[in-house]
Structure 1
Amino acid sequence: MTEDKVAMVTGSSRGLGKALAIELAKNGYDIVVNYARSKSAAEETVKEIEALGRKAIMLRANVGDVKKLRAMFEQVKEEFGRLDVFVSNAASGVLRPIMELEESHWDWTMNINAKAMLFGAQEAAKLMDNGGKIIGVSSLGSIRYLENYTTIGVSKAAIESLTRYLAVEFAPKGISVNSVSGGALDTDALKHFPNREELLDDARKNTPAGRMVEIEDMVKTAMFLISDDSNMICGQTIIVDGGRSIVM
């Protein structure tokens, strides 16, 4: 079994997850590419990683299903025998006003966004005998109101709370747990927002730093948290929004 470092990024066939997976590969990690729907997109991610000289395997799983999530980690154990980085990035959600939400909407969103981080972290920790890094991905909807964002916002708040609890219990194992929270990112996910243009316009006009947050900004912050330079950062959610969340 290889002793090269191994990273798993859930939802890594596109967007932020893909960008993180490729950056990790550039930094010497073999990559577990997880996807739920688009096999062709995941295959493209694998090709780009392999072109960098790193190994990549592609595993399909709805991370909100704990049985499938655990089976995926079993495959990682068989293939690599270890895990050094786990990024719980996969996300989904139902965008509706509160009075239109149904129980299934709540369960779907909480399972994929929050439950997957808890049980994914459990499984990841079992493969981190020499310590490791676990990263969650949140958003500003965890701390402020965004229209139609109830289920997602609450699930992201759960991620930030989980980050603190996981960090305390995993620190003695040499495992650091932190999260990265971003402002509005112009990704495929944002296309599902009925008020997408309003959110983007707000980010362009009202971000003190003078520009929107880019995927690269999130990747750089996550990579810092994954690096040894951040070893004493524990249980924190780092907001990457150019200052948007601290102004009216």
Structure 2
Amino acid sequence: MPRALITGGSRGVGARLAAILAADGVDVTITYRRSRESADEVVAGIRAAGGSAKAVRLELESTDDIEALFADGARFDWLVANAAASAFKPIERLSPSNLERSWQTNVRSFVLLAQRAVTRMPRSGRIVAVTSYGAQRAFPAYGAIGADKAALESWVRHMAAEFGERGITVNAVNGGLFDTDSFRHYYDDPALPDAATMAERVPLGRIGTPDDLAYAVRFLLSPEASYITGHTLVVDGGLTIVAPPYWSEVRAAQRESREPERRETTGEERPR
């Protein structure tokens, strides 16, 4: 039975991935930072469905916590670095503490976890980092975590080159807009476009679900992806292939401009 470690598995994408992998027969360990109740609910749901899971509190800023995960010879076949946290502030307002904590949580923890996990992984081992479109695109108040996510994608390439001789693949999944607590927290700002407007700007016309991202991670963990490494798989409904003017807004304007013609062809009197 493969063993998977999923950081940030108490909610959102991490929770769905844990449930999906457990249903595949994987022994899942999820980590959480604050909400033990949520993590216990995820574990209980998996066990009720006949799967194997446990939850462990992990402070990603703590090297001691990371070391404790691998105490007593613990090993994992798959590592999914899903947890993330940072300060959503303009760059000029980021304090040294904001920068340090963001880097420790998002970047340093990934490297430390991979260092420890890889020494005990089989040749079919897998490492996946969950990043975001902020690694490639700049948008308001996302500088700290966006830069951290970009760093993760760079680390993925270096790890893939180094760990490849062991038969271990290392990849990233770069997500767009997903209906999670983090998405709702970020867009709960009256200065930003609302969720409906953002969904219209996605070529597929909707905000992603946790399943959309979780199944992409599952693919990279599967035997079918055994010859894919050092790659960043973009899962965003096409969000990062478009730019202003957005098709949704152009189509709306086109419909509006055709409205007088439509009224004329249907016999309605045009206003004079």
Q: Give the alignment's TM-score, normalised by structure 1.
A: 0.92
What SS class does the counterpart of residue 70 from structure 2 fall into?
Answer: helix
- SS state at 2:122 partner: coil
Percent identity over paired residues: 36
- Which residue of the other structure, out of 202, 206, 211, is the alignment partner of 1:211? 206
* Alpha-carbon spacing, 1:140–1:111, altered in 2? closer, same or farther (3 Å): same
Deviates more, 1:94-103 or 1:123-132: 123-132
Query: 5+ unaligned residues in a row in structure 2: which ranges?
Result: 244-272
Please say if residues 203 and 244 of structure 1, whose CA atoms lie closer than 8 Å, have aligned partners that are also in contact: no
User: In structure 1, what is the equivalent of residue 34 of structure 2?
Assistant: 37
- Tell me what 2:167 maps to: 174
Contact map agreement 1:43 1:58 (CA 8 A) in 2: yes
Instruction: From the superposition, tell whether residues 84 and 199 of structure 1 become closer, same or farther in structure 2 (CA, over 3 Å).
Output: farther
- State the distance in 2 between where 1:190 and 1:208 align: 18
Contact map agreement 1:142 1:157 (CA 8 A) in 2: yes
**Runs of 4+ deviating beyond 2 Å:** 194-197, 199-203
Q: How does 1:134-153 map to 2 (within 5 A)?
A: 134-153=127-146
Structure 1 unaligned residues grouped into runs of 5+:
none
2:93 equivalent to 1:100: yes
Instruction: Please identify the structure whose Cα radius of gyration is greater.
Output: 2
The structure 2 residue matched to 1:117, chosen from 101, 110, 117, is: 110
Seen in structure 2, the aligned counterparts of structure 1 residues 57 and 150 have a Cα distance that, compared at 3 Å, is same
2:47 to 32, 50, 53: 50
CA distance in 2, matches of 1:130, 1:97: 43
Q: For residues 234 and 156 of structure 1, what CA distance do their matches in structure 2 show?
A: 18
Q: Tell me by how many angstroms 1:191 deviates.
A: 3.1
Q: Deviations over 1:54-84 (max 9, x none)?
A: 2222211112222211211226x34xxx311
The residue identity in structure 2 corresponding to 1:16 is V
1:195 shift after superposition: 3.7
CA contact (8 A) 1:93 1:105 kept: yes
Question: Which one is further off, 181-190 or 37-46?
Answer: 181-190
Aligned-residue Cα RMSD (Å) equals 1.5
Q: CA deviation at 1:227?
A: 0.5
Please give the alpha-carbon distance, in whole angstroms, between the structure 2 residues aligned to 1:241 and 1:170: 28
Q: Which amino acid aligns with 2:27?
A: D
In structure 2, which of residues 235, 238, 241 is the aligned counterpart of residue 243 of structure 1? 238
Is the Cα contact below 8 Å between 1:186 and 1:200 reproduced in 2? no
Give the whole-Å Cα distance in 2 for the aligned partners of 1:91 and 1:134.
16
- Secondary structure of 1:198's counterpart equals coil
Deviation at 1:199, TM superposition (A): 5.9
* AA partner of residue 122 (structure 2): D
Count of aligned pairs between the two proteins: 241
1:25 aligns with: 22
* Residue range with higher mean Cα deviation, 218-227 or 203-212: 203-212
Counterpart of 1:163? Answer: 156
Q: Distance in 1 between matches of 2:121 and 2:226?
A: 15
Shift of 1:206: 1.0
TM-score by length of 2: 0.85
Shift of 1:202: 4.1
Counterpart amino acid of residue 131 in structure 1: S
> Do structure 1's residue 88 and structure 2's residue 81 form an aligned pair?
yes
Cα distance in 2 for partners of 1:158, 1:214 equals: 25
With 33-42 and 63-72 compared, the bigger mean Cα shift is at: 63-72
For 1:70, the aligned partner's letter is E
Deviations along 1:177-229, one digit per CA (max 9) or x if unpaired, are 00101111121112332548626234311111222222111011111101011
**Partners of 2:100 and 2:141 in 1: CA distance:** 16
SS of the residue 1:47 aligns to: helix
Matched residue type, 1:23: I
